[in-house]
Structure 1
Amino acid sequence: MSTKTELKTYLNYVNGKWEASSNEQVDTSINPANKEIVGYVQKSSLEDLNEAVAVAKNAQKQWGKLAGSERGDYLYRVANMLEENLNDIAETMTKEMGKTLPEAKGETARGVAILRYYAGEGLRKTGDVIPSTDSEALMFTTRTPLGVVGVITPWNFPVAIPIWKIAPALIYGNTVVLKPAQETAITAAKVIDCFAKAGLPDGVINMVTGPGSVIGQGMIDHPSINGITFTGSDKVGKLVGQGALARGAKYQLEMGGKNPVIVTEDADLDLAVDATISGGLKSTGQKCTATSRVIIQSGVYETFKEKLLAKVKQIKVGNGLNPETWMGPCSSEAQFNTVLSYIEKGKAEGATLLFGGKQLTDEELRNGYFIEPTVFENATNDMVISQEEIFGPVLVLLKVNTIEEALEVANESKFGLSASIFTTNISNMLSFIKDMDAGLVRINAESAGVELQAPFGGMKQSSSHSREQGQAAIEFFTSIKTVFVKE
């Protein structure tokens, strides 16, 4: 849509039209690899949100009456449009938040797959027949949509997360108002353009960009938004949940993680090293499921550490558009400063910095928000770097003696999103599955990963205890209605 020589201003999408915000204010989207301007996005007001909610509420009446297969046809057309525009959207994602181009392409392809999956959900059952105590009656359940759903999404997965919320919301008969992260709002606009070009009825899908304090809070408070699905920090998520609860709206929260990987003495260490690096440092560690704590049995600690450091030192950091780059920049100046502050806290607390920890200032990198991949050891599990979500390329090594101690350390966290273990011992596997307090547990695989057809969500303060993706999504986006019919 734009070229290197022109800077475009991207608009809100409301009632089937692209329009500027009522206050005529815009924000600048910055490339974190070089601080160049990618484009401009709307800094909208409550007036813009109110308009979007009103048209979504009106459109839902007819959208909800369509057959599931009809709604599925629309989603399938969106998937085709997204696939046609995959390269452009992926490149925009890399420019806006720094993720490497192969990762951005993979994420966009996942968005295509999610849309096709939920297109098929339009033909699945939505209820059950239940025997009645009255022999002359028929009793069954069906499901009804919530109505208007507010979707609030983060910058780290600007294609996949909005789509895995929007697609089930739409297939189950809801209409949507999306508030994407301002840092990646251009990517979001290009995704929404695929919905527009697929010909969805006016008002079914809407996007309003702007600050969370205005648009996000406006969604929380709006009496016509029947459900809010949010992915982001636990601090903001709690505010979303409290606000929605206060007015009786349904809410779904996916928040932070401090995800452990356990490496046992019988593990395949090369496999564990590769998965720890991939799970912890890909996407610059900016995943809610990223590996953060590496809990290693003492018998293999030194060997694992040597293998890990040897590979971490080989990581190529740079602009995500460079084919040689393995790890890109932090997504923004704010995230860059946050990660550096955590590294300083780790050193101040007495952890040993084994590698990295500094801003990269080589000629090609000095204008971007690049940090070396960072590894700490001699940390304790009560240190800030062991307990708080850093959301950056930082690994903390923790030594333990037994599998029981490893599980105890792994569970000593307010979060419970994902966890993995590397072991060839079936007893260890079973103990991990049974005792690990996390919504996603993976054996001999990295912590960062979930398949689109499987339920996804966390325990403890990682989630509101609901689940996203797969068929589990129907539980949030609909309500059960019990029907009793008698002649």
Structure 2
Amino acid sequence: MSKYQMYIAGEWVDADSSDWLDTMDPYRGAAWAQIPRGRSSDVSRAVAAAKEAMTIGPWATMSASQRGRVLRNIGDAISQNAERLAEVEVRDNGKLLAEVQGQLSAVAECWYYYAGLADKLEGASIPVEKPNTVVFTTREPVGVVAALTAWNSPLWFATVKAAPALAAGCAVVVKPSEFASASTLELATLMKDAGMPAGVFSVVTGLGSEAGAALVEHPDVAKITFTGSDVTGAKIAEAAARTLKRVSLELGGKSPNIVFDDADLDLAATGVVSGIFGAAGQMCAAGSRVLVQNSIKDELTEKVVNLARNIQLGDPMDPRTNVGPISTPPQYQKVLDYIQVAEADGARCILGGKPAAGPGITEGQFIEPTIYTDVANDMRIAQEEVFGPILSIIEFDDEEEAVRIGNDVAYGLVAGVWTRDVGRALRMSKSLDAGTVWVNTYRMYSYMVPFGGMKRSGLGREHGREAVYDFLETKSIVMSTDINKPSNAFVMR
């Protein structure tokens, strides 16, 4: 069994408590590694090191171009060690090796992107109406950043939070999910070797209720960035408000994937399957509600069922596998509970609806790809995030009804629209409550494209140029050039 240490202030350390947590292999159903159970004292050490590093340490005195070179070195290290990183992440959370390998290519490119952006975060000269006055702005790092990441894509989440924060000149303390911390700790090793100064990037492992809460509440943390459930996100926002910390939240979704009668139905059916059964449905952007125009409901449903029926479940390391296990025991039980809820509410199961069994999947946490019809949008299965391979098919008549049903949830992360009509695509994109609208595609991400949600799906945006501004303060400098002429002390200039 592997045994990891935390990475704090440039050193590998055990938790002060000397306690450990098992991390499970969801495919084999057994512990494969241990991580330290960090608590408030460990968090305090990491935050103190981060504050020192970005105020009086070498990170504070580096030029933006020098910081960018360190970030580029990290991208190189990830590219050179992608195979090992992918294997560790798959072992920890059961995601497909093929998907993680592809994602790691984007992870490296994301570091390159923010490396290039580091020395282009410019201020402005403002030609104010006041005579004999020069005004300009600068952009300065907001302070120590707490990054709390989820178990379904740990390396991606650590990257899209840390890379822009580091490009801005901040120092970062990451608290990964206790269910999947190993790959983030492996990343810390690469960052140290890439020349990241001590204290600028630390990883504290442990439970959310202990290490996570201590990090959120620490008075020297200036900014919190979190990926996870909307319930936890709301608690973090409430705690952060007590000390007026900045917060960005990438939360859940109950996303509509809307198929019109003029769509290419083969293309749409593939997009539907990808949107809900990819990653076993364990993604915030899952297209868990498929809205289908009445005239094509039966035809599309048949295509989706045929594709889903042939999904290969099994070892996530095996290239023949399409869908791996549910990543954590609590999530596995949650998905099973929602199957019972759906049936109690009157939804009709036409595929799956139970734990999967068979050769190669007897030890893991597998659930059959599951499809429900006769779903009303007010059912719990259509309103609440399941985070598993469960699809609800809902009918609609026209654009107006599709928008009404699509928006009739508490979330607003993404939406999909399938149509050949460009005008309709633009009208739907404007009308849907979603931070991202995919047209004739689904699950298309880029580190260059802002990503985030509306309503209970979160606050702020990750990815792209917009993300880095969340880690910066704008400072205005106002200078008078008329130093020989006294002004009236009691009149505002």
CA shift, 1:412, in A, is 0.2
Check conservation: 2:164, 2:467, Cα contact below 8 A.
yes
Residue 18 of structure 1: aligned partner: 12
Residue 42 of structure 1: aligned partner: 36
Which whole-Å CA distance do the structure 2 matches of 1:249 and 1:37 have between them? 37
Instruction: Tell me if 1:479 matches 2:473.
Output: yes
Which whole-Å CA distance do the structure 2 matches of 1:284 and 1:14 have between them? 34
Residue 376 of structure 1: aligned partner: 372
Which whole-Å CA distance do the structure 2 matches of 1:427 and 1:148 have between them? 46
Residue 446 of structure 2: aligned partner: 451
Residue 325 of structure 1: aligned partner: 321
Instruction: Tell me if 1:124 matches 2:110.
Output: no
1:472 corresponds to which letter in structure 2?
Answer: E
Which whole-Å CA distance do the structure 2 matches of 1:325 and 1:474 have between them? 37
Give the stretch that moved more between structures: 407-416 or 125-134: 125-134
How big is each residue's C-alpha offset from its partner over 1:142-187, in whole Å with a ceiling of 9 and x where there is no partner? 1111111000000011111110000011110100111001111111
Q: Secondary structure at the match of 1:322?
A: coil
Check conservation: 1:297, 1:403, Cα contact below 8 A.
no
Check conservation: 2:253, 2:457, Cα contact below 8 A.
yes
Q: Secondary structure at the match of 2:120?
A: coil
CA shift, 1:427, in A, is 2.8
Q: Secondary structure at the match of 1:201?
A: coil
CA shift, 1:483, in A, is 1.4
Which of 399, 405, 410 is the aligned partner of 1:409?
Answer: 405
Unaligned runs of 5+ residues in structure 2 are 482-493
Q: Secondary structure at the match of 1:247?
A: coil
1:134 corresponds to which letter in structure 2?
Answer: K
1:59 corresponds to which letter in structure 2?
Answer: A
Give the stretch that moved more between structures: 375-384 or 29-38: 29-38
Which whole-Å CA distance do the structure 1 matches of 2:84 and 2:469 have between them? 34
Which of 338, 348, 351 is the aligned partner of 2:347?
Answer: 351
CA shift, 1:327, in A, is 0.4
Which whole-Å CA distance do the structure 1 matches of 2:61 and 2:140 have between them? 10
Unaligned runs of 5+ residues in structure 1 are 1-6
Which whole-Å CA distance do the structure 2 matches of 1:379 and 1:314 have between them? 23
Q: Secondary structure at the match of 1:13?
A: strand
CA shift, 1:46, in A, is 1.0
Structural mapping, 1:62-461, within 5 Å: 62=57, 63-446=59-442, 448-461=443-456
Which whole-Å CA distance do the structure 1 matches of 2:398 and 2:467 have between them? 38
CA shift, 1:484, in A, is 1.5
CA shift, 1:208, in A, is 0.4
2:446 corresponds to which letter in structure 1?
Answer: E
1:17 corresponds to which letter in structure 2?
Answer: E
CA shift, 1:334, in A, is 0.9
Aligned length: 479
Bigger Rg over Cα: 2
CA shift, 1:138, in A, is 2.0
Give the stretch that moved more between structures: 350-359 or 472-481: 472-481
Which whole-Å CA distance do the structure 2 matches of 1:103 and 1:192 have between them? 22
User: Which aligned segments of 4 or more residues in structure 1 are displaced greater than 4 angstroms?
Assistant: none
Check conservation: 2:167, 2:468, Cα contact below 8 A.
no
Q: Secondary structure at the match of 2:44?
A: helix
1:229 corresponds to which letter in structure 2?
Answer: T
How big is each residue's C-alpha offset from its partner over 1:95-133, in whole Å with a ceiling of 9 and x where there is no partner? 111111001111221110110000001121421211122
Q: Secondary structure at the match of 2:126?
A: coil
